[in-house]
């Protein structure tokens, strides 16, 4: 069951450098939210605060709250590893475990979660690969290395790996930027299917992609060099692309800067 994300007053630092400041937003379950904005405005940083990956960077820390169905992910006693299981992530460059087989790539997270029975693993691996629209292409090579797949297949393998553990939320940081147009469309179609089960947040520099895949769009911007990134507005995607409330949003999506 997907859950609602509720962020309030979130500020994130790298050591003394404040990268993003005072971000608040809600994200409804089973929606796709796109994060757009110029390079360096903190989209990736903010995304990583949503599953406690930000603090993995030395000096990385946050202030503020991130609630997942009312529970603060930064609350005392919360295990960041458990958070990352609930809030999965897909990165810009497909990063399958290179020496592991296709099967083991998808099974890796399940094994960490204690699933041992071969038949259970097989069932979930098949279901996840089908869910990632990759099954037909790999069903005869499950024992071959994940690194032997094409870039687009590798990215869908990473999506299969992420959804195998049934997260509540799926975070995707420019998941198509290393893919050709056909693989990109395959991943976009997949996002449309996955949102029936998951809450999805996607960072993209591709305005058409944001318009195609997302229900809501958040525009981030920098007030100046060295200043922290801020959320400028978040609204229905249709509205952001037709009639945004803020001039800077309009300038950005129409390509006047950024």
Shortest distance, CB of residue 232 to ligand ATP, whole angstroms? Answer: 13
Closest CB to Mg ion among 44 and 217?
44
CA distances (Å), origin 170, targets 30, 31, 163, 164: 10, 11, 8, 11
Closest CB to ligand ATP among 27 and 53?
53
- Phi/psi for 111 (5° steps) reads -65, -40
Answer with the entry of Mg ion, ligand ATP, none that 146 interacts with (C-beta below 5 to 8 A by kind): none
Shortest distance, CB of residue 57 to ligand ATP, whole angstroms? Answer: 5
**Cross-strand pairs, 26:** 6
Closest CB to ligand ATP among 1 and 225?
225
Answer with the entry of Mg ion, ligand ATP, none that 42 interacts with (C-beta below 5 to 8 A by kind): ligand ATP
Closest CB to Mg ion among 168 and 174?
174
Shortest distance, CB of residue 45 to ligand ATP, whole angstroms? Answer: 3
Answer with the entry of ligand ATP, Mg ion, none that 14 interacts with (C-beta below 5 to 8 A by kind): ligand ATP
Give the footprint of Mg ion on residues 12-51 (CB under 5 A): 44
Closest CB to Mg ion among 125 and 162?
162
**What is the binding site for ligand ATP (CB under 6 A)?**
14, 17, 19, 39-45, 57, 229
- What does the alpha-carbon distance between residue 151 and residue 51 come to, in Å, rounded to a whole number? 25
Q: Can you give the binding site for Mg ion, defined by CB under 5 A?
A: 44
């Amino acid at each position: 069951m997907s859950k609602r994300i509720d962020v309030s007053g979130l500020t994130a630092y790298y050591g003394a450098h404040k990268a993003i400041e005072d971000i608040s937003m809600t994200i409804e379950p089973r929606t796709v939210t796109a994060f757009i904005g110029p390079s360096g405005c903190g989209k990736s940083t903010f995304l990583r605060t949503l599953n406690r990956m930000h603090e993995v960077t030395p000096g990385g820390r946050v202030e503020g709250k991130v609630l997942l169905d009312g529970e603060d992910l930064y609350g005392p006693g919360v295990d960041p590893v458990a958070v990352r299981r609930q809030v999965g992530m897909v990165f810009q460059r497909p990063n399958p475990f290179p020496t592991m087989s296709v099967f083991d790539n998808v099974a890796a997270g399940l094994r960490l979660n204690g699933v041992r029975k071969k038949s259970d693993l097989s069932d979930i691996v098949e279901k996840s690969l089908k869910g990632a629209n990759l099954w037909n292409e790999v069903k005869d090579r499950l024992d071959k290395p994940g690194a032997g797949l094409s870039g687009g297949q590798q990215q869908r393998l990473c999506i299969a790996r992420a959804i195998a553990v049934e997260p509540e939320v799926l975070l995707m940081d420019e998941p198509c930027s290393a893919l050709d147009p056909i693989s990109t469309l395959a991943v976009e179609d997949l996002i449309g299917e996955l949102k029936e089960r998951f809450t999805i947040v996607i960072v993209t520099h591709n305005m058409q992609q944001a318009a195609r895949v997302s229900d809501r769009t958040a525009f981030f911007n920098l007030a100046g060099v060295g200043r922290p990134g801020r959320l400028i507005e978040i609204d229905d995607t249709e509205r952001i692309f037709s009639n945004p409330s803020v001039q800077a949003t309009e300038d950005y999506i129409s390509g006047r800067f950024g």
